[in-house]
Amino acid sequence: MALATGGYALSSEEKRRVEPKQHLSMIYDQTKCVGCAECESACHSVNLVPAAQNRMIIQDRTDPDNVKARRFVRVSCQQCEEAPCVAVCPTAACHKDSLLDVVTMNGDDCIGCAYCIVACPYDVRFINEETNMAENCDFCLETRLKKGLQPGCVEACKYDALVFGDMNDPKSTISRILSIKDTVRQRPELGTKPSLRYVPAVKQGV
Protein backbone atom coordinates (compact mmCIF):
# COMPACT_ATOMS: atom_id res chain seq x y z
CA MET A 1 0.00 0.00 0.00
CA ALA A 2 2.78 2.39 0.95
CA LEU A 3 4.64 1.23 -2.15
CA ALA A 4 1.71 1.83 -4.50
CA THR A 5 1.20 5.40 -3.38
CA GLY A 6 4.85 6.24 -3.05
CA GLY A 7 4.52 6.50 0.69
CA TYR A 8 1.97 9.31 0.49
CA ALA A 9 -1.08 7.41 1.70
CA LEU A 10 -3.03 9.28 4.35
CA SER A 11 -3.46 7.72 7.72
CA SER A 12 -6.98 7.82 9.08
CA GLU A 13 -5.83 10.57 11.43
CA GLU A 14 -4.54 12.66 8.51
CA LYS A 15 -7.68 12.04 6.47
CA ARG A 16 -9.76 13.54 9.24
CA ARG A 17 -7.65 16.66 9.05
CA VAL A 18 -7.90 16.99 5.26
CA GLU A 19 -11.62 16.34 4.99
CA PRO A 20 -13.90 19.26 5.91
CA LYS A 21 -14.30 19.43 9.65
CA GLN A 22 -17.52 18.48 11.26
CA HIS A 23 -19.54 21.29 12.76
CA LEU A 24 -21.43 19.51 15.49
CA SER A 25 -24.45 21.38 16.73
CA MET A 26 -27.85 21.04 18.26
CA ILE A 27 -31.32 22.36 17.58
CA TYR A 28 -33.61 23.16 20.49
CA ASP A 29 -37.22 23.26 19.29
CA GLN A 30 -39.35 25.42 21.56
CA THR A 31 -42.53 24.33 19.77
CA LYS A 32 -41.92 20.76 20.92
CA CYS A 33 -40.42 21.16 24.39
CA VAL A 34 -42.92 20.60 27.22
CA GLY A 35 -40.50 21.43 30.04
CA CYS A 36 -40.40 17.91 31.53
CA ALA A 37 -36.67 18.38 32.29
CA GLU A 38 -35.81 14.73 31.63
CA CYS A 39 -32.86 16.09 29.67
CA GLU A 40 -31.56 17.64 32.91
CA SER A 41 -31.78 14.31 34.78
CA ALA A 42 -30.09 12.48 31.91
CA CYS A 43 -27.28 15.06 31.91
CA HIS A 44 -26.72 14.62 35.63
CA SER A 45 -26.52 10.84 35.46
CA VAL A 46 -24.34 10.75 32.33
CA ASN A 47 -21.86 13.46 33.31
CA LEU A 48 -21.92 13.03 37.11
CA VAL A 49 -22.68 16.73 37.62
CA PRO A 50 -23.12 17.64 41.33
CA ALA A 51 -26.80 17.69 42.32
CA ALA A 52 -26.82 21.44 43.00
CA GLN A 53 -25.22 22.30 39.66
CA ASN A 54 -26.08 21.87 35.99
CA ARG A 55 -24.44 21.70 32.59
CA MET A 56 -27.81 22.43 31.02
CA ILE A 57 -31.22 23.46 32.29
CA ILE A 58 -34.64 24.15 30.83
CA GLN A 59 -35.77 27.62 31.92
CA ASP A 60 -39.49 28.38 32.09
CA ARG A 61 -40.03 31.52 30.01
CA THR A 62 -43.82 31.45 30.04
CA ASP A 63 -45.33 34.93 29.84
CA PRO A 64 -47.25 35.45 33.13
CA ASP A 65 -49.98 37.29 31.15
CA ASN A 66 -50.41 34.36 28.76
CA VAL A 67 -49.94 31.21 30.83
CA LYS A 68 -51.78 29.03 28.32
CA ALA A 69 -48.87 29.43 25.93
CA ARG A 70 -46.16 27.63 27.88
CA ARG A 71 -42.65 28.59 26.76
CA PHE A 72 -39.39 26.91 27.69
CA VAL A 73 -35.84 27.48 26.61
CA ARG A 74 -32.65 25.45 26.83
CA VAL A 75 -29.82 27.10 28.81
CA SER A 76 -26.45 25.53 28.04
CA CYS A 77 -23.10 26.11 26.38
CA GLN A 78 -23.74 27.65 22.94
CA GLN A 79 -20.63 25.95 21.50
CA CYS A 80 -19.31 29.19 19.97
CA GLU A 81 -17.04 29.05 16.96
CA GLU A 82 -15.27 32.15 18.35
CA ALA A 83 -15.48 31.00 21.96
CA PRO A 84 -14.38 33.66 24.50
CA CYS A 85 -13.77 30.93 27.13
CA VAL A 86 -11.21 29.25 24.85
CA ALA A 87 -9.60 32.60 24.07
CA VAL A 88 -9.14 33.65 27.72
CA CYS A 89 -8.11 30.34 29.33
CA PRO A 90 -4.52 30.93 30.52
CA THR A 91 -3.61 27.24 30.55
CA ALA A 92 -5.55 26.17 27.42
CA ALA A 93 -7.46 23.73 29.67
CA CYS A 94 -10.61 25.08 28.01
CA HIS A 95 -10.09 24.17 24.38
CA LYS A 96 -11.68 22.81 21.22
CA ASP A 97 -11.39 19.07 20.76
CA SER A 98 -8.85 18.40 18.02
CA LEU A 99 -11.06 15.83 16.28
CA LEU A 100 -14.66 16.89 16.88
CA ASP A 101 -14.08 20.66 17.30
CA VAL A 102 -16.31 20.81 20.38
CA VAL A 103 -15.53 23.31 23.18
CA THR A 104 -14.50 21.12 26.10
CA MET A 105 -12.20 20.91 29.12
CA ASN A 106 -8.93 19.28 29.95
CA GLY A 107 -9.61 19.37 33.67
CA ASP A 108 -6.06 18.40 34.65
CA ASP A 109 -4.75 21.75 33.40
CA CYS A 110 -7.58 23.83 34.92
CA ILE A 111 -6.37 25.98 37.82
CA GLY A 112 -9.87 27.23 38.65
CA CYS A 113 -9.17 30.89 37.92
CA ALA A 114 -12.77 31.30 36.68
CA TYR A 115 -11.68 33.58 33.85
CA CYS A 116 -13.77 31.46 31.45
CA ILE A 117 -16.79 31.80 33.74
CA VAL A 118 -16.73 35.62 33.60
CA ALA A 119 -15.69 35.69 29.93
CA CYS A 120 -18.70 33.65 28.76
CA PRO A 121 -21.37 36.16 27.68
CA TYR A 122 -24.07 33.49 28.10
CA ASP A 123 -23.11 32.67 31.70
CA VAL A 124 -23.37 28.94 31.01
CA ARG A 125 -20.09 27.77 32.55
CA PHE A 126 -19.45 26.93 36.19
CA ILE A 127 -16.80 25.68 38.59
CA ASN A 128 -17.72 22.14 39.59
CA GLU A 129 -17.99 22.27 43.39
CA GLU A 130 -16.60 18.75 43.76
CA THR A 131 -13.64 18.88 41.37
CA ASN A 132 -13.04 22.68 41.53
CA MET A 133 -12.57 22.61 37.76
CA ALA A 134 -14.50 24.66 35.21
CA GLU A 135 -17.10 22.79 33.21
CA ASN A 136 -19.46 23.26 30.26
CA CYS A 137 -21.86 21.26 28.11
CA ASP A 138 -19.60 19.60 25.55
CA PHE A 139 -22.36 17.43 24.02
CA CYS A 140 -21.19 14.56 26.29
CA LEU A 141 -17.95 14.47 24.29
CA GLU A 142 -16.09 11.94 26.41
CA THR A 143 -19.04 10.24 28.07
CA ARG A 144 -21.02 9.50 24.86
CA LEU A 145 -19.90 11.13 21.59
CA LYS A 146 -16.57 9.35 21.42
CA LYS A 147 -18.43 6.05 21.95
CA GLY A 148 -20.58 6.84 18.92
CA LEU A 149 -23.64 7.79 20.97
CA GLN A 150 -25.86 10.88 20.86
CA PRO A 151 -25.67 13.35 23.78
CA GLY A 152 -27.59 12.18 26.87
CA CYS A 153 -30.19 14.95 26.72
CA VAL A 154 -30.98 14.25 23.06
CA GLU A 155 -31.54 10.58 23.74
CA ALA A 156 -33.65 11.33 26.82
CA CYS A 157 -35.99 13.78 25.05
CA LYS A 158 -39.30 12.05 24.30
CA TYR A 159 -40.65 14.95 22.23
CA ASP A 160 -37.88 15.30 19.61
CA ALA A 161 -37.25 18.82 20.86
CA LEU A 162 -33.50 18.26 20.60
CA VAL A 163 -31.71 17.32 17.39
CA PHE A 164 -27.98 16.76 17.33
CA GLY A 165 -25.67 16.32 14.36
CA ASP A 166 -23.14 17.65 11.89
CA MET A 167 -24.21 20.91 10.23
CA ASN A 168 -21.47 20.52 7.60
CA ASP A 169 -23.00 17.26 6.38
CA PRO A 170 -25.90 18.18 4.04
CA LYS A 171 -27.48 14.76 4.52
CA SER A 172 -27.63 14.90 8.30
CA THR A 173 -30.98 15.28 10.04
CA ILE A 174 -29.92 18.58 11.60
CA SER A 175 -28.96 20.03 8.18
CA ARG A 176 -32.26 18.93 6.65
CA ILE A 177 -34.24 20.53 9.46
CA LEU A 178 -32.20 23.74 9.25
CA SER A 179 -32.87 23.93 5.51
CA ILE A 180 -36.63 24.15 6.04
CA LYS A 181 -37.16 25.61 9.52
CA ASP A 182 -36.55 29.15 10.70
CA THR A 183 -34.07 29.11 13.54
CA VAL A 184 -32.27 31.76 15.59
CA ARG A 185 -29.08 31.90 17.60
CA GLN A 186 -28.60 33.47 21.03
CA ARG A 187 -27.09 36.98 20.85
CA PRO A 188 -25.11 36.48 17.63
CA GLU A 189 -24.37 40.25 17.77
CA LEU A 190 -21.75 39.50 20.41
CA GLY A 191 -19.52 38.08 17.71
CA THR A 192 -19.10 34.68 19.34
CA LYS A 193 -20.65 32.71 16.42
CA PRO A 194 -22.75 30.42 18.63
CA SER A 195 -23.47 26.98 17.13
CA LEU A 196 -26.72 26.13 18.91
CA ARG A 197 -29.89 26.79 16.90
CA TYR A 198 -33.28 27.56 18.45
CA VAL A 199 -36.69 27.09 16.84
CA PRO A 200 -38.84 29.78 18.51
CA ALA A 201 -42.54 29.31 19.20
CA VAL A 202 -44.17 32.41 17.73
CA LYS A 203 -47.86 31.44 17.76
CA GLN A 204 -49.58 33.25 20.65
CA GLY A 205 -53.07 31.60 20.64
CA VAL A 206 -55.98 30.63 18.40
Partner 1 sequence: MEMMIDFTEGFSHGHVIWGWMIGVYLVLAGMSGGALIVALVRRHYSKNKENTGLLKGAAIIGFSTIAFGMVFLVADLHRPLYFWKILINYNFTSVMSIGVAAISLYIPLTLMVFLMALEEEIKDFFQTKIKISFVHTMLTIVINILKRFRPYIEFITIFFAIVICAYTGFLISVLIRFPLLNTAVLPILFLVSGLAAGVAATRLLTAGYYRVNPSTFDEGLLHRIEWPVMFLEILLIAMLIVSLVLGNDYQKEAMAAFDVTRSQWAYLFWGGVVGVGFGVPLSLNFLFGHKVAHSSFTMYASGISTLLGVLSLRLFLLYGGQTFGIH
C-beta closer to partner 1: residue 3 or 180: 180
CA distance 205 to 201: 11
Is residue 88 involved in binding partner 1 (CB under 8 A)?
A: yes
Q: Binding to partner 1 (CB under 8 A): which residues in 129-148?
A: 132-133
Q: What secondary structure does DSSP assign to 164-183, as a single string?
A: EEETT-TTSHHHHHHHHS--
C-beta atoms surrounding 49 within 10 Å: 20
Q: State the DSSP code for 184.
A: B
Residues 6+ apart with CB under 8 A from 95: 86, 89, 103, 104, 105, 106
C-beta closer to partner 1: residue 43 or 166: 43
CA distances from 143 to 44, 106, 150, 165 (A): 12, 14, 10, 16
Interface mask toward partner 1 for 42-71; x: CB under 8 A: -----------xx--x-x-x---------x
Residues 197, 183 contacting (CB under 8 angstroms):
yes
Is residue 74 involved in binding partner 1 (CB under 8 A)?
A: yes
Q: Residue 132 CB, nearest distance to partner 1 (Å)? A: 4
Q: Binding to partner 1 (CB under 8 A): which residues in 152-171?
A: none
139 residue type, one letter: F
C-beta closer to partner 1: residue 157 or 166: 157
Residues 6+ apart with CB under 8 A from 77: 55, 56, 103, 122, 124, 125, 136, 137, 138
Is residue 112 involved in binding partner 1 (CB under 8 A)?
A: yes
Q: Which of 75, 103, 145, 157 binds partner 1 (CB under 8 A)?
A: 75
Q: How many residues bind partner 1 (CB under 8 A)?
A: 48
Choose the stretch contacting partner 1; rule: CB under 8 A; options: 36-44, 107-115, 143-151, 172-180. Answer: 107-115
CA distance 1 to 13: 17
Is residue 84 involved in binding partner 1 (CB under 8 A)?
A: yes
Is residue 115 involved in binding partner 1 (CB under 8 A)?
A: yes
Q: Residue 116 CB, nearest distance to partner 1 (Å)? A: 10
Interaction site with partner 1 (CB under 8 A) = 30, 53-54, 57, 59, 61, 71, 73-75, 84, 86-93, 109-115, 117-127, 132-133, 184, 186-187, 190-191, 198, 200-202
